[in-house]
Amino acid sequence: MDNTNIEELTKKAEAFIELLYAELDKSEEETENRLISVREQINNLGSYLHTEEELVHGARMAWRHNSRCIGRLFWDKLEVIDARQAENEDQIAEALLQHVERANNGGRIRPVLTVFRSAEDESQRIRVWNHQLIRYAGYPSIDGSARSGDPASDHFTRVCQQLGWQGTGGNYDVLPLVVGIGDGEPRLFPIPTDLIQEVHLSHPEIERFPELQLRWYSVPIISDMQLEIGGILYTAAPFNGWYMETEIGSRNLGDTGRYNLLPEVADLMGLDRSTNTTLWKDRALLELNRAVLHSFKQAGVSIVDHHTAADQFVRFQQQEEERGREVSSRWSWLIPPMSPSATPIWHDQSLMELDLSPQFLYQSPAYQGWLEALDGPLKSADSELISPSCDSDSKETTTVSLPEMACPFHHKM
């Protein structure tokens, strides 16, 4: 590591230690001692090791700082699992499966983050290739045949197939875990079916709703972002909360670029789709979201509706104000993708994005180079999924971002 890097890391580390130790009410002496030891480690090794406490609180702060997340009221309840000792792919996969189980908790979803060792040595850099630990495969149409599954997973599904995985070609095939270390060949680990909880959708009034055979998995575990704490980059640090219903009903199932189900729902409801003025899309969207809420509740799986989530966000803002901290917020990501103007967030003109650390950052898809070596540069249909489509974000550390896929409650304006 050259001197500028050492200096930069030292600055970030110091800022973090000072902030953290102040938040945790540590004595000046303790803070000073820790600073001395951190500086020493950086000078000798070019890096430093976080204590368990720094790791736990640092990860919680990264959640608290995430400008796109409406669910931050619970930031200090995040459970952090230290998996820095996991060496090889098998141990990493084992920790990922434990994360799934711990987070799902029989439906009473727990916010969990598992952190793997940091990435100073590139040849030892851990990446989870999945966007989320549990996600459905996507199969593009071949020669005009109908496509199936989740279009957001088309690329990664191809990667899995190349690595020897075979799906059924259906709409809801759960993808395997793929773990890579450095430039080594990635390894593939199927998720045991008893770890995967799914909710089949029914509707409180529309009796025929189950005929659509819709479902979604219970817990979204984002696994492709990196966690930055005090200048240290954790390239593998999967985390989860519970779902807000619009993520599934409005976006995953409703978006035209995803499962695109509004026409089918409207037809089931017998709506007139020949004109926009029947507001068939809005009515279908509403009932789809009601079905998601109803079904998750019935299955005993934690979920929050967008009004409650927005109210909780306001409480988070108040709480932060009382504690003398500013909240970083991106309006376009915080307003929910159904009836946004019926929530207080819509009307809040004070929201501002700030440059805060610890933080979650995007990184290029781990499979990008690998897939391009196989298929050549990704085609335009592909690049739609991996090029910035909302406002570009200077904080992304890489040239390619996944705005649509990486957003906590992803939706664009």
Query: Which residues are catalytically annotated?
Result: 69, 72, 242, 247
Nearest position to ligand ARG, beta carbon: 241
DSSP-assigned states of every residue in 288-324: HHHHHHHHHHHHT--EE-HHHHHHHHHHHHHHHHHTT
Q: How far apart are CA 409 and CA 336, in angstroms?
A: 8
The number of beta carbons lying within 10 Å of the beta carbon of residue 26 is: 17
Give yes or no for a contact between 204 and 294, defined as CB atoms under 8 angstroms apart: yes
Rank residues 191 and 244 by Cβ distance to ligand ARG and give the closer one: 244
Residue 395 CB, shortest distance to ligand ARG, in Å, is 18
Rank residues 224 and 247 by Cβ distance to ligand ARG and give the closer one: 247
Q: How far apart are CA 177 and CA 67, in angstroms?
A: 28
Rank residues 51 and 332 by Cβ distance to ligand ARG and give the closer one: 332
Residue 243 in the binding site for ligand ARG (CB under 6 A): yes
Residue 409 CB, shortest distance to ligand ARG, in Å, is 5
Phi, psi of 234 (to 5 degrees): -100, 105
Phi, psi of 259 (to 5 degrees): -80, -15
Q: Alpha carbon of 121 to those of 90, 117, 124, 126, 182: distances in Å?
A: 20, 10, 5, 10, 9
Q: How far apart are CA 96 and CA 116, in angstroms?
A: 10
Q: How far apart are CA 285 and CA 295, in angstroms?
A: 15
Rank residues 58 and 408 by Cβ distance to ligand ARG and give the closer one: 408
Q: How far apart are CA 250 and CA 403, in angstroms?
A: 17
b (16+ CB within 10 A) / e for 214-248: bbbbbbbbbbbbbbbbbbbbbbbbbbbbbbbbbbb
DSSP-assigned states of every residue in 19-43: HHHHHTT--HHHHHHHHHHHHHHHH
Residue 220 in the binding site for ligand ARG (CB under 6 A): yes
Residues 6+ apart with CB under 8 A from 411: 246, 250, 251, 333, 336, 337
**Sole window of 55-63, 200-208, 236-244, 269-277 interacting with ligand ARG (rule: CB under 6 A):** 236-244
Give yes or no for a contact between 236 and 92, defined as CB atoms under 8 angstroms apart: yes
Q: Which of 81, 112, 179, 244 binds ligand ARG (CB under 6 A)?
A: 244
Q: The tokens 């699992």 sit on which residue?
A: 81
Report the candidate in 219, 296, 197, 215 with the shortest Cα–Cα distance to residue 253.
Answer: 215
Give yes or no for a contact between 153 and 173, defined as CB atoms under 8 angstroms apart: no
Rank residues 209 and 259 by Cβ distance to ligand ARG and give the closer one: 259
Residue 253 CB, shortest distance to ligand ARG, in Å, is 10
**Sole window of 18-26, 188-196, 238-246, 271-279 interacting with ligand ARG (rule: CB under 6 A):** 238-246
**Structure tokens, 242:** 């519970």
Residue 243 CB, shortest distance to ligand ARG, in Å, is 5
Q: How many residues bind ligand ARG (CB under 6 A)?
A: 13
**Sole window of 197-205, 237-245, 267-275, 330-338 interacting with ligand ARG (rule: CB under 6 A):** 237-245
**Sole window of 86-94, 295-303, 334-342, 401-409 interacting with ligand ARG (rule: CB under 6 A):** 401-409
**Sole window of 88-96, 196-204, 235-243, 330-338 interacting with ligand ARG (rule: CB under 6 A):** 235-243
**Sole window of 170-178, 225-233, 244-252, 290-298 interacting with ligand ARG (rule: CB under 6 A):** 244-252
Residue 242 CB, shortest distance to ligand ARG, in Å, is 6
Residue 254 CB, shortest distance to ligand ARG, in Å, is 11
Residue 217 CB, shortest distance to ligand ARG, in Å, is 8
**For residues 68-97, which are near ligand ARG according to CB under 6 A?**
71
Q: Which of 149, 230, 238, 241 binds ligand ARG (CB under 6 A)?
A: 241
Residue 56 CB, shortest distance to ligand ARG, in Å, is 19
**For residues 170-209, which are near ligand ARG according to CB under 6 A?**
none
Sites of contact with ligand ARG (CB under 6 A): 71, 220, 222, 240-241, 243-244, 247, 252, 407-410
